[in-house]
Amino acid sequence: MLKNTVQEYAWGSYTAIPELLGNDSPASVPQAELWMGAHPKAPSMTTFNGKQLSLLELVEKHPNEILGKKVAEKFQNRLPYLLKVLAAAKPLSIQAHPSLDQAKKGFEKENRLGIPFDAFNRNYKDDNHKPECICALSDFWALNGFRKIPDMMTLLQRICPPGLEKSFDLLRQRPDSVGLKHFFQALMTMDREAQKQIIDDAVKNARQVKHEDRAYQWVIDLNQEYPLDIGVFSPIILNLICLEPGQALFLPAGTLHAYLEGVGIELMANSDNVLRGGLTPKHIDVKELLNVLNFEQSDVDILRPRSLNPCEDRYDSIAEEFALSVITIKTGVDYCSSSKRCVEILLCTDGNAVVADFAETKPMHIKKGMSILIPAAVKKYSIKGDAVLYKAAVPV
């Protein structure tokens, strides 16, 4: 059984995570994320041979037994993924994550410069990339990648203030990834007073046309949460989507995105590297953000799970570090794991279940809010009961 850290960020929900865990609700402070994994910032705790130790320590001491030999070799004896419950009552920052090469270089550079890990201006907390998948548990509003430029221009024209015309011309003259980068760079590096004026004008214009597109209402809403922050333009320039429960998004390196509202299961490579571009009081490094961003325009690719067996559906992605599945069991319909498996974390989001290792006599009872790690050394296991569980694993 895992004991996990709850991250208390200002944008979090007072109710979602407490209700999942069966704690008093509402909480006294907003609870934003529940972390399950072995990240040094907040590793899960577990009991091994009667002693409490972190999952980070357990993996370091017994990498082959916990991870499996192939996973241990491939990922340098580290658990390669981090599983979270994300509960956003307010919008998160606009952000992107670096590629593996960018993360290694950025981490080494900031170490060489002697920037403390807890410094306000620290970008790289580790040397890993952070592809991620978000799966909605509730209606989940998100921004994901740059819109198709014609759509962006149509939306922007309706609220474009005079102070933005010069920057907007960059996009008109070259409606491709190069023009988009120039436009975005001009927007982000504009003089602060000029930014304030165009934001104020754009919000006023959005109020006049808010009935025409949901993006305009989000411009207004974001300005209420983060007054005069350049990020209020993000619903216009990025793809705006509301995921239904069970739908998911995959976000590779370089994808500008933000989670606006909702509760979801988030699975990612084991990293905490974030480059921010707005909607936050935290450090924003525009130069570094521009270096990591992918400026290709795109539609949103919504992931729907693919059935693997009567109990398990998986969300396919290109990530080498993780695979997300949802397991649904009912009375008389049991789940039996594959014998070809590696380290897994299971989180129960509804109901009650019994997990049994075929080689052991002691089954483990879990209920809503509980999570467990099943090491690679377990050859095969079953799950019985009436429950829904999300499974984090490494593709094998």
- Give a yes or no: residue 56 inside a domain: no
Q: 200: number of CA atoms within 13 Å, CB side?
A: 7
What is the model's pLDDT at position 219? 97
Tokens of 158: 């309706």
In whole angstroms, give the CA distance from residue 81 to residue 97. 15
Q: Write the pLDDT tens digit of every residue in 134-152.
A: 999 999 999 999 999 999 9
In which domain, by residue range, is 219 found?
A: 91-304
Nearest in space to 166 (alpha carbons), one of 148, 150, 182, 177: 182
Determine the 3-state secondary structure of 176 from DSSP: coil
What is the model's pLDDT at position 361? 65
- Dump the DSSP string for 272-305: ---EEEESSSS---HHHHHHH----------B--
The amino acid that residue 207 corresponds to is: R
Nearest in space to 59 (alpha carbons), one of 80, 31, 32: 80
Against a cut of 0.85, is the pTM above it? yes
Contact assessment for residue 391 and residue 372, using Cβ atoms and an 8 Å cutoff = no
- Give a yes or no: residue 61 inside a domain: no
- What mean pLDDT do residues 50-68 have? 94
Please tell me whether residues 326 and 300 are part of one structural domain. Answer: no
Tokens of 233: 């333009």
Residue 362, pLDDT > 90, answer no
Structure-derived torsion over alpha carbons of residues 21, 23, 29, 34, reported in degrees to the nearest 10? -10
In whole angstroms, give the CA distance from residue 298 to residue 309. 32
Please tell me whether residues 104 and 151 are part of one structural domain. Answer: yes
Distance from first CA to last CA of the chain, Å, rounded? 24
The catalytic residue positions are 276
What is the model's pLDDT at position 50? 82
List the beta bridge partners of residue 13.
Answer: 31
Tokens of 235: 């619903």
DSSP character at residue 228 = T
What is the model's pLDDT at position 197? 94
- Give a yes or no: residue 36 inside a domain: no
Task: Point out the domain boundary residue: 273, 304, 335.
Answer: 304
List the beta bridge partners of residue 390.
Answer: 326, 347
Please tell me whether residues 185 and 251 are part of one structural domain. Answer: yes
Percentage of the chain beyond pLDDT 90 is 87
Task: Point out the domain boundary residue: 284, 304, 324.
Answer: 304
In whole angstroms, give the CA distance from residue 366 to residue 354. 6
| More confidently predicted of 351 and 165 | 351
Please tell me whether residues 240 and 331 are part of one structural domain. Answer: no
Positive or negative: CA dihedral 234, 239, 240, 243: negative
Query: What is each CA distance from 110 to 66, 115, 125, 253, in whole angstroms?
Result: 32, 6, 9, 20
Nearest in space to 349 (alpha carbons), one of 281, 265, 293: 265
- Give a yes or no: residue 199 inside a domain: yes
Q: Write the pLDDT tens digit of every residue in 207-258.
A: 999 999 999 999 999 999 999 899 999 999 999 999 999 999 999 999 999 9
Phi, psi of 108 (to 5 degrees): -65, -40
What is the model's pLDDT at position 98? 95
- Give a yes or no: residue 149 inside a domain: yes
Residue 396, pLDDT > 90, answer no
Give me the CATH number covering residue 263. Answer: 1.10.441.10
Show Cβ contacts of residue 275 under 8 Å, excluding neighbours closer than 6 positions: 95, 96, 97, 98, 123, 285, 288, 289, 292
Averaged pLDDT of the chain? 94
Specify the residue for token string 């974030």: 274
| More confidently predicted of 358 and 73 | 73
Please tell me whether residues 166 and 95 are part of one structural domain. Answer: yes
Phi, psi of 144 (to 5 degrees): -150, 100
- What mean pLDDT do residues 162-170 have? 89
Please tell me whether residues 98 and 168 are part of one structural domain. Answer: yes
- What mean pLDDT do residues 35-56 have? 92
Q: Write the pLDDT tens digit of every residue in 257-286.
A: 999 999 999 999 988 899 999 999 889 999
